[in-house]
Amino acid sequence: MISFGVIGASIRGGSLRLLEAMTVPADSRATVLTALKEACGFAELTPVFTCNRVEFYYIAQEGPAGNVYRNRLLDFFLRGREKVEFGPADIYAYSAFRAVKHLYRVSASLDSMVVGEAQILGQVKDALVEARTLNLIGPRLEAIFAEAFRVAKKIRRETPLGEHAVSMATLVSTAVDEHLAKWGAATVAIVGVGPMAGKLADHLRTQDGVKIVFINRTVAKAQTLAEQYSGRALSLDQFLAQPPDVDILFSSTSSADPLFDQEKIDRIRWERNALSPLLLIDLAIPRDIDPAVGKSPNVILRDIPYFQTIADSNRRARFLAVDQAEQIVELEIARAHRENAERQFRPVFASTLSEALAFARTGLDKLFATRLDHLSADDRAAIGYWVEKLVRYTNQLPVGALAEQADTSRGDCSMIAGYGCMQTRPMPEVQTDDPVANRCAQKQGRACILDGHVDESAACGTESQSE
C-alpha cells in the first residue's frame, strides 16, 4: 500500500487555470499520459478527468514520497506555462491509506461539487477502462479501484445519499428552464457530443417550441444526435463561419483552447439581432468560452464556478446522508488497515505455524504409540484433526490481535504500511489540535516530522501530506 497515491486538483481549489493546465484532451491522451507515466516514474497510472476535477492515481516505483511525485507532475504540465498561477491549497497529494480514503470518497460522490450525484462513479469506471485500454495500469490499481467501486455501491445501497442529490444535468436544465420561462421559445446550440449533450437534449425535447442545433468538429457525430432528437447538425467550422440564430449556447468539449472568444460571440449576437440576452453555458475543462465574454452586455455566462455556488447552497439538506456515508467510508478504511496489517504479519507467523504443527504431530505420534495405543484409527484421526485445528487457530490469534492493534493505533506510530515516525528530540510538551499527533508526541516522546520539520497539523507519519 505504501506505493499508492493520488495527485489532483479540483474546482474547490480555486485555480481553474491549474485545472485546465492538468487536463489532457481526449485525442492526445495516449501520447501525453504515456509520457507522464515515464516522466514521473509511475509503475501504474489511472487519470480521472471530470468537469470539476483532474486526478492522477498511481503506483510508484520509488516509494511513498508523494510530494516528490507531485512536483514531477507539476513540472511535466507547467513547463512553458509561466502564466498559470496557483497556491499550495490548489493541488493535493495523498499517499497510502489517505489516498485510498480519497478514492473511496470520490467514487461515492462525497467529494463532488454535487454531493450524491450518481454520474461520478460511472466517470471513475470509464477512467479505469481508458487507462486499461492505454496500457497504463496493472493488477494493483485494478484491485484498489475494485474496492472503491464496492464501497461506493455499498453507500448507494445503504444510505439515502442518492435521494438528496442534485446532478449537474439538473442544475444545467434548471438554468435553461429559467431562461426559457423568462424569454420564451428558443433555439439551443449544443457543442460537443459527450454525455451531457445527450442529457440536455433529453430535457429540451420535452419543452414546447425549442429547436436544437448539434455542433461538433466531426459533423457525422453531431448528425447522430440530430437524428435521435429531431435536430439539425453542423460542423464546428460551419457554425463559426455562419452562426445560425441561437438563443442558448451550451458547450462541453475536450478542446485544449477556447472555442469561443469575444469576436466569435459578438458574431453570434449580431446574427441573433434579438432583444433577449444570449445564455452561454460552459461545462468544459479547459473552458470552451473565454471568461471575458461574460462581461459583455446582453450576455449571461454560466460556468462551473457558478454551478458550484448553486450546488453548495443545497448541501445542508444532505448532511445526514453524508454523515452515514462517511461512517461507511471510515469502517471500510479500518477494515483495509486490518487486512493490510494481516498480510504483513501473516508471513512472520507462517514458519511458527509449521513448527507448531510439526511439534504437535510428533507429540501425538508418541502418545498414540504409548499411552493412547488402545485408540482406534478413527479416534486417532479425530484427535489429530482437532489438535491441528487448535494449533492453527491459536497461531492465527496473534495475527488478528496485531492487526487490530495496528488499526486502532495507526496514527500513533503504528508499524503499518504507509505510516511511521522518525525519531527526533523528546517533545512530550508538543500540543496540537490533532489528538492523534498529540498521542504520538506524548506517548512516544517523539514529534511527527515531515521533510525535516515538525508537522503539527496532521496525523503522525512520514506519509502525511497537507490537505
Active centre residues (catalytic): 51
How many other C-beta atoms are found inside a 10 Å radius of the C-beta of residue 431? 12
Alpha-carbon span 387 to 360, nearest angstrom? 7
* 319-369 vs 377-408: helix crossing angle, rounded to 10: 150
Give CA separation, 95 vs 238, 411, 421, in Å.
Answer: 48, 14, 15
Which backbone phi and psi does 94 adopt, to 5 degrees? Answer: -115, 150
* 319-369 vs 139-158: helix crossing angle, rounded to 10: 120
Which backbone phi and psi does 232 adopt, to 5 degrees? Answer: -120, 145
Question: Is the sign of the CA dihedral 373, 376, 379, 380 positive or negative?
Answer: positive
Planar angle of CA 182, 183, 187, nearest 5 degrees = 130
281 strand-pairing partners: 250, 302
Q: Is 458 helix (H, G, I), strand (E, B) or coil?
A: coil
Grid cell listed for 423: 525519531
Question: Is the sign of the CA dihedral 76, 80, 84, 88 positive or negative?
Answer: positive
* 96-107 vs 119-133: helix crossing angle, rounded to 10: 120
Q: What is the bridge-based pairing of β-strands 248-251 and 232-235? A: unpaired
Alpha-carbon span 361 to 379, nearest angstrom? 15
* Edge-to-edge strands, sheet with 248-251: 232-235, 211-216, 187-191, 248-251, 278-282, 299-303
Closest CA to 186 of 299, 303, 276: 276
CB 416 within 8 A of CB 95: no
Grid cell listed for 391: 494449533
CB 120 within 8 A of CB 112: yes
DSSP labels, 420-433: -----S--TT---S
Dihedral, 126, 129, 134, 138 alpha carbons, nearest 10: 130
Is the omega angle on the peptide bond into residue 286 within 30 degrees of 0, that is, cis?
A: yes
